[in-house]
Structure formats: C-alpha cells, structure tokens
A and B are shown apart, each in its own frame.
Chain A
Amino acid sequence: MSETIFHTEDLVKTYHTGGTEVRALSGVDLDLYGSELTVLLGPSGSGKSTLLNILGGLDHATSGLVEFRGRDLTLLSDRELTRYRRDHVGFVFQFYNLVPSLTARENVQMVTDIAPNPMRAEEALARVGMSDRIDHFPAELSGGQQQRVAIARAIAKRPEVLLCDEPTGALDSSTGVQVLEAIRDINEDLGTTAIVITHNAAIQGMAHRVVHFQDGNISTVSTNDTRLAPSQIEW
C-alpha cells in the first residue's frame, strides 16, 4: 500500500446558523492514500463537502485531527493554509467557477502565475482535450468544456491531490463521462491522488475505494476489485 496522504481522527465540524447548531461532521476517522482515486459517496447534507473543504484547507475543523503527510492542518494559520493550497491542492467545483472575464488559457494561467512548478497552461489544457478552445471565454464553452478547463486549471500546478466536489453535478451523462475520463487520466498518468465527491452512485465504479457518507460520518468503506472505465458509466 502506498503512503498515507490524509489522515483524520475524530474530526468534528459544527456550524452555527441562526441560533441552531448543525453538526456537519461528527467524528470522522479516515485515511486516504497516494495515487489512489477515492470516491466519497453520500446524499447531500451528509458532510462530504465539509470534509473536502477541510482537507483542502478551505475551512477549519471544530475539533479532531486532520493530517496531510503527517502535518497537522488544524495547527496551520490562514497564511500557511493559503501556502498549502497553493503548493499541494487542486480543486474542481460543481459549478466550474471559471472567471468569466478570462479565457480558458488565462483561467489556467491564474494558477501557473503563482504555483512553484507548474506545467504550461497549454499542456494542462491539452491533457483535458481542450487544446482547440484555448482562447475561448467561459461563456463560449459548454458545461462539460468549462469543467474540463477547471480540471486543467486544477492540475496545472502539478498538485499532489485533486479534490473534486461534484464535478459532474451540473452535467448530463455523456459530457460528465468526458470529465470523469479527464480525472482518471490525471490520476493514472500523473499519479495524482484524486478525491471525488458525488451523490451519484453510478460514479463509484471508477474508484479504487469508495467511502460512504451518512449523517456526518462514514458508514462503510468498500474497495473495487475491478474498476469501470468512465465510458462504461451511465446515469
């Protein structure tokens, strides 16, 4: 088994909204390993996005331990978290979150401008099959194309982990498959640890491991002996 990238112990996150306390994560223990493609599966509100945000350094845990390569993320300051995101993590969001006033290439350059050892924007876009739309603005791209640009943007910094939050959530089946293929290729070709959050059970077939979420905690963890190719997935 390869090395442990993320390790959490009794991870708790509570939100206070309008006087009521919401427990988004209630004591999550989880290990995620290098070069693995993990799918976090669960209904909305089960806490998987909260976990991803904490793993990605976007949010603080309320209590518990979360380690990246043995380094306790809960001890990091905001400045150190920024550094951590910049150097190690690539994000893919459900709604792509491309900057509308920048072209595909420029959206990727946003990352290559500040990352320590990035690949060229063109190369990142080629990896997701977007070479021919490189100078298009987001408004000129389909949803699937926008999401592939977002993936290119995430991988351009050669991150160690790729965190994808419902990457196909806003897409139909056939365009979603193209996006999943791009994620799988990155995982296989570059060895990037990929964590994909989804409520879409069909996607779990492409993962090495599947972590099932329910009510803020892990219900089961299963391993796929034979993985499906994205092209075999349909919803």
Chain B
Amino acid sequence: MHALDKKLLRDFKRLWGQSLAIALVLACGVMILLTAFGMYRALDDTLEAFYERNEFADVWAATEKAPRPLLREIAALDGVQRAEARVQEYLMLDLPGRVKSATGLALSLPDNGALPGLNVPLLRSGRLPDPQATDEVLVTEPFAQANGFVLGDTFDALLSGQKRSLKITGTALSPEFVYAIGPGTLMPDDTSFGVMWLPQAMLASAFDMSGAFNSVSLSLTRGANEPQVIDALDDLLAPYGGTGAHGRDQQASNAFIATEIKQLKNMATILPPVFFGISAFLVNMVIGRIIALERGEIGLLKALGYTDLHIAAHYVLLAGLTALLGIVIGWITGGMSARWMAAEYAQYFKFPYLIFNVSYDAYAISGFLALLTAAIGALRSAMAAATLPPAVAMSPPAPPRFKRSLFDRLLAALRLSQPSMMIWRSLFRWPLRAAMSAVGLSLAVAIMISVGFFSYSINAVSDIAFDQSNREDTVLLFAKERSLSALEDVRKLPGVEEVEGELYTPVKLRNGWREKQLSIITRGEGATLARSIDEVGHVVEANGSGLLITTRVAEVLGLRPGDQVEVEFMTGRRETYWLTVSGITEQFLGLGAYMSREAMARLTRTEPQISVANVSLDPRQDMAFNTAIKEVPMISGAVRVTDMKASFAATVDENISIMNGLFSIVAILITVGLTYNSARIQLSERARELASLRILGFSNWEVSFVLVGEIMLIAALAQPLGWLIGYGLGELMAASFSSDLYSIPMVLPPAAYARASLVVLATSFVSVMLVRRRIDRLDLVSVMKTRE
C-alpha cells in the first residue's frame, strides 16, 4: 500500500466522529431511496403481474338488471376485447361464534363450472363450487384465515331474506380485491367483510336474476378509447338501470394501491435529495477545513513531486470513504426497512405473491448518488488544494480579514461582552457557511413538522368524520330502496334509540368539461345522527332545492355557492337537472353531495325513499341488536361506525407514531451531522483564540460560551425558516396524500412547531456539548506553539 493511501486511512480513522456524522445523514438518503424505490417497484411489479395473469378488467359497470343477450352487444362495442357479465350482491352473513354481523360481496361464477374470463380469482386452496350446487361457496383467503375457517366449514348467509348455510369449498385471491374494503367502511377488516363466489344458477335464482346480470366488466383492446367505451356502455345499460361505468381509476382496490404507489414515488423523489444536499454541504465544510489544516502537508506533497491530480484525488477519496461508510449503513438499513415495509403492506394488500426483486439498480443508483454527493462536496475544496501554489501552501494562511462595518457599530452600541462580539463577528465573517448550516438545521425542523402535522390532521379528520358528522353507531344497508315506513321497523329492533334514513342516489355532476360520479345523499330535515359540517364547524343543511357539496367536489368541479351544476341521474327516470350549489361542507373521507328529502322527492316525482338507516344504540343491548338484524330480510349489511372509528384510530395511530419516530430520528441525524461538524470545525479554527482567552484568565465556561453560543445562535436562527419550510412541505405532503378517496387537512397547532424545534435545539445542544469537552482538555502551551 502506498504511503499516501496509508495517510488516507489514518486520516479517515482520526476523523471517524465527523465522518460517521456525515455518513449517517448520507445513509438516510440511501435508505429512503432504497426503501421507497424498492417498495414502489415491488408494488408496481406485483400489481402488474397479478393484473396481467388474472385478467384484471379495464372497465366496470353496474345495472339494476340487464338481460344476458345484451352482453353480446356490449362485447361488440368498438374497443372491447372481452366482456364478462355476472350477478353481484351484498349478503348479510351470520358467522358461527360471532354476534356481530358480517358482510359478504357475492359474485356469480359462470354456469359452465369454469373460472370467469376477467378478474379471474386465483384459487389458493380447495376447488370451485359445483355449478349445480346450492350450498357451496368459494371465499377470499384473508376472510377465511381471519375467521379461522378451513375447507368444509360452513356459515350462514341471508340471500334475499332467506337464510342459507354455505360450505366453503375453496379459497381464492382476486385482482379486484387486493385492497378489500366493505361497503361504507374505511379500512380493510377481514373478519367482517369477505368476497365470495357462488354458482350463477344459485345466486341468480335467489336474487331473481335468472337470464340477467347486474354487473359487467370489460377488457379493452390496445389503443382503445376508454371514455368512448364508457359512454357507449352507459348508453347500452341506461334502459336497464345502469348506474354509470368507470375505469380502473375508480375501481376501489386499484385506486387505493395507485395512491400508495404514487406516495412511494413521491417519497423516493422528494426526500433523498434533501439528505444528499445536506451531506454534500457537510463534506464540503469538513474537507475544506481539513485542507486548511493540511496546507503544509499539501505544500510538502507538491514539493515532493506529487501532481495536482494526486492531491485532489487524495481528498476526494477521503470524502469517498465517508460516502462508502454511508452507503454500507444505508444499504443495510434500507434492505431491512424495505423488508419491514413489505410486511406492513402484506397486512393491507392481499397479493398472492410479492415480486420483491432485489433491485440491484436501486442499490447501484443510491450508491452512485451517495458517492457523487460526496465527490461534489469535496471537489471544490480538493481543487483548491490542488491548485494551491506549493510555496504558498508551505506558509501559514493569512489571518482572516475582519472588517469594520455598520454592524460593528451596532454591536459596539449594544455593549456586548467580548465573547459575544466574537460570536457575532464570526457569523458575519463567514455568512455563507452560517447560512448553509442554518438552512440545513431548518430542513431538520421542517422534516419533523412535515410529518408531525399528520397526527393533528388525522385527529381533525376523525373528529369531523365521527364525532361531528357520522354520529350513528351503526348504519344498516337495505337491499333495495324502501319507503320511510321501513324506519319504523328498524325502530322496533332491540336497543335502538334513534333512527334516521338516508337515500343514496348515483349521479354524474358536471360543470362544463369537468365531471364527477358520486352519490347524492338525501336526508330528512333536522337529522341529528348523520349531518354535514361547514368549514367553521357549524351544522349545515341543504336548503330549498339546493345541493350541498363537499370541499373536494367543489375544488374538482370548480364550483362555488350560488353556481349552477348539471346533475345527471343514473337511476330512475335518468333525467338531467340543473341545481344550485347552496353550500359547501367539510368532509375528508370520500366525495359527497347532499340534498333535502323533500327536494329530492319533488325533483324525481316519487315518494320519499331511503336506502340506509342510521341507528344510535343503547350499548347494553348491542348484542341483542346484532343478533336481531341478522334475521331481518330487508337488511343486506351493517356498518358498525363505532368499530370503524376505533380501528381507524388504532391503525392510523400506529402508522403515524412509526412515521413520527422515523422522521424524528432522521431530523436528529441531520442535526447531529451539522452541529457536531460545525462545532469541531469552529473549535479547530479557534483553538488558538480560545486558548488565548484561557491564558488571559477566562474560565472554561466563559470560553465554551463562544463555541456553544455561536452554534446555538445559528440553530435558533434556523427555527423560523424551518417552520416555514415545514409548513410548505406539509402542504405538499397533504396535497400528495389527498385523493377522491380521502383528503388530509393541514392542521398545525403551535405544539407541532414547538416539538420540532425542541428536538432540533436539544440535539444541537447535546452535539455541541460533546465537542465542548475538548475545550477542557485544550493544552494551552502546545496550542500557542502550534504554527498556523
């Protein structure tokens, strides 16, 4: 090994503290890149493979009841490759050993005993039900596992009010239900919701669908025009109660995963550059200082005949070793966290397999970027070292030039102590370095704020969604629209305290070229269980014949109160009306529009109807209520809002505390990297100055004040900028997380800022105090003798 290489290794060893501090920041960048990129690729690859192998459809549509022969016309539409019709119904389930009801989504299997041609369930165990059987069922694997079912087990289901015992013949996974949520719920719950496949004949006879279908899915030919196909399909299905076709973008499971993939992609592109940027700055600062200290050695190397390239390479390699350390740490932790993430995803997304290719390119890219970062950071200093004329390099550097300025007069007028003066002067002597350090620290603050807001936002979401808007305990779903008298039947059920009805009417809202499919929810006047809340927290109702819309709908369609909106009804007489937007309501979960029951009845010229009943319960009669509803034929399902709220809080809390913890660690690493290195450099530059103060009779603590004071001053100055960037970053995150499925409001109380600042300031203080100990050990005599 060359002597210069030995010097390199020994220098690296001597600088281990500083190198490690930089390496850890760099490792964060590498880790996040690796995790986010790896997971993004894994999800994307897996999804694509599953969709392709199992013929995931491109377009879906539901109708009330369409004759089978219509399928041939649909298949003949321009751009359609394949069309598959089925019967699809929600079933109320009565599972053995479970008081609470569960909901099943029943899909019919083709008569010929084969698998469907589209959205093909992947058989995981057992076999398909016999096409002639009336008591056999294929269920989703997670539903079976969550409820402890094995093949041959049976459970009861209400089919059109008739209780049937169904025997499980097999389990399967479906590309349509990778993320499977039950009707009206927010999160997957495999114990209370499952998808199941039953023979066409049996399902059709139970729901009066013989020779008919109520659900159709299409695959399209390459290059087909999806909106055109959707329009054509809507036209064909309109006479049969079609409720509007949609593409993959509105398919619930796919939309959720797409959102997740988008978030991972954002994470892989937004965050790593922050870490790499900070690392480059740190490397620049540290190598710059080392070169300042080694001027003599650089001159010597030149005198000995080493070339500029040799010398520049020497210092770039020193940075390279730091990068290498960061890369190794980043790769190890990145590999681990990717695996952890994969396990997390497996909880929510039900893939039959996870294509988790170790993406060597992700490793290579992250490693390359880390090396590049270090090289860029070191290059300027290394070039400066290489171009130092040897004779100059051998003589000590001129003392930094301090100039008197207006600022000095201000300092003088303030009658600051000499140590305070030293702090301020140094800040203004190297304003760029101070500013860069402050920006780095502000990013640490910002990163904490940008995830810290989540817990407050989710609380706000939960508060609006459950405590203020949806205050019912249970929502009972009716198989068909009912008249208001159905509420009286519900009221008679055990434990029911209050009951209110709502009607869901699928419509298309249009404002110019902008269009959204959603349901208008119709309520009785003065409803107290399910209500709408405006932006300032007041209860708001749709008045007159007006339409109350949610903030998201208003944004997407560009509507304001008083505007006219075109409403095309997808059911009933399928008429189109122009309605006035009477108000905006704050709603974070899902899209919505609201209308009064009377106005809707007038508009559609029908008796007032309801499709769900919201119920508040006496908690002591919970069991009796749940047992009773399983026997009521008109009820096709029940959504337990109380359970949903609890599981929402639990899931979200867990995820948020993991995120908060992770980003706190990241912020701490950035802070340590910056303050520890800054302090070390300060100390090295000022050793003589500080030793002189000691010799003049200043105490250790008075001298330490100069060092600690400057770093903490920079840290304090970084805070307001950090808050600002944090707010901006938070808004960006909130926007990137928001979709038609849910939106996240930006809620940032002072406590969120305070917490981020506290963590960063405390970490800065600890880091600088670690360096401060060196002042106690300062050898006054030798420091004064050192040439420099």
Contacts and interface: CB of A to CB of B under 8 A. Distances in A.
Which of the listed residues A56, A85, A107 has the most CB atoms from chain B within 10 Å of its own CB? Answer: A85
Given A56-B303, A85-B305, A113-B4, A97 B296 contact: yes
Interface in A112-127: 113-115
A144 B323 CA distance: 40
Nearest to B2: A113
A41 B548 CA distance: 99
A28 to B, nearest CB: 16
A157 B303 CA distance: 13
B2 A58 contact: no
B394 interface: yes
Interface string A81-105: 0110111010101010101011000
Contacts of A16: none
B364 to A, nearest CB: 32
A130 interface: no
A83 B300 contact: no
B305 A114 contact: yes
B222 interface: no
B307 interface: yes
A59 B304 contact: no
Nearest to A153: B304
Contacts of A153: 304
Nearest to B390: A58
B52 interface: no
B302 A102 contact: no
A115 B394 contact: no
A106 B3 contact: yes
A110 B3 contact: yes
B4 A82 contact: no
A151 B296 CA distance: 17
Contacts of B310: 114
Contacts of A59: 389-391
Nearest to B304: A111
Contact of A101 (B7, B391, B394): B7
Contact of A99 (B297, B302, B307, B308): B297
Given A53-B391, A85-B305, A115-B305, A110 B4 contact: yes
A9 interface: no
A95 B787 contact: yes
Contacts of B6: 101-102, 106
B397 to A, nearest CB: 13
Interface size class of B (residues with CB under 8 A): 20 to 34
B312 to A, nearest CB: 13
B305 A102 contact: no
Which of the listed residues A79, A91, A99 has the most CB atoms from chain B within 10 Å of its own CB? Answer: A99
B11 interface: yes
Contacts of A53: 391
A109 interface: yes
B308 A82 contact: yes
Given A93-B394, A97-B297, A113-B4, A58 B306 contact: no
A78 interface: yes
A91 B306 CA distance: 13
Contacts of A111: 304-305
A99 B7 contact: yes
Interface string B585-614: 000000000000000000000000000000
A86 B302 CA distance: 9
A103 to B, nearest CB: 9
Nearest to A60: B389
Contacts of B389: 58-59
Contacts of A87: 305
A85 B305 CA distance: 5
Nearest to B8: A101
Contacts of A115: 305
Given A58-B390, A99-B7, A99-B300, A82 B2 contact: no
A150 B278 CA distance: 40
A58 B305 CA distance: 10
A85 B303 CA distance: 6
Contacts of A110: 3-4, 7, 301, 304
A114 B306 CA distance: 8
A82 B14 contact: no
Contacts of B4: 110, 113
Given A59-B390, A93-B394, A99-B300, A82 B3 contact: no
A58 B389 CA distance: 7
Contacts of A89: 303, 305
B262 interface: no
A132 to B, nearest CB: 20
Nearest to A56: B303
B11 A101 contact: yes
Interface string B360-396: 0000000000000000000000000000011100100
Interface in B271-321: 296-297, 299-308, 310
A78 B301 CA distance: 14
Contacts of B300: 91, 93, 97, 99
A154 B385 CA distance: 22
B7 to A, nearest CB: 5
Interface string B639-682: 00000000000000000000000000000000000000000000
Interface in A38-86: 53, 56, 58-59, 78-79, 82-83, 85-86
B53 interface: no
A152 to B, nearest CB: 13
Contacts of A79: 307
Nearest to B4: A110
A82 B302 contact: yes
Given A59-B389, A93-B394, A97-B296, A85 B302 contact: yes
B391 A83 contact: no
Which of the listed residues B3, B11, B390 has the most CB atoms from chain A within 10 Å of its own CB? Answer: B3
B304 A85 contact: yes
Nearest to B9: A101
B390 A113 contact: no
B10 interface: yes
B3 A58 contact: no
B305 A82 contact: yes
A51 to B, nearest CB: 12
Contacts of B14: 101
B297 A86 contact: no
Contacts of B390: 58-59
A135 to B, nearest CB: 12
Nearest to A96: B300
A50 B133 CA distance: 106
A50 to B, nearest CB: 8
Contacts of B787: 95
A109 B300 CA distance: 14
Given A99-B7, A99-B297, A101-B7, A58 B307 contact: no
B352 to A, nearest CB: 58
Contacts of A58: 299, 302-303, 389-391, 394
Contacts of B301: 110
Contacts of A108: 3
A157 to B, nearest CB: 8
Contact of B7 (A83, A93, A102, A114): A102
Given A59-B390, A89-B303, A99-B3, 11 more contacts: A83-B305, A86-B306, A91-B300, A93-B300, A99-B300, A101-B6, A101-B7, A101-B14, A106-B6, A109-B3, A114-B310
19 contacts: A58-B389, A82-B306, A82-B308, A85-B302, A93-B394, A97-B296, A97-B299, A97-B300, A101-B7, A101-B10, A108-B3, A109-B3, A110-B4, A110-B7, A111-B305, A113-B2, A114-B305, A114-B310, A115-B305
Interface of A: 53, 56, 58-59, 78-79, 82-83, 85-87, 89, 91, 93, 95, 97, 99, 101-102, 106-111, 113-115, 153, 157
The 10 closest A-B pairs by CB, nearest first: A86-B305, A101-B10, A109-B3, A59-B391, A110-B3, A58-B390, A85-B305, A106-B3, A58-B391, A97-B300
Interface of B: 2-4, 6-7, 10-11, 14, 296-297, 299-308, 310, 389-391, 394, 787
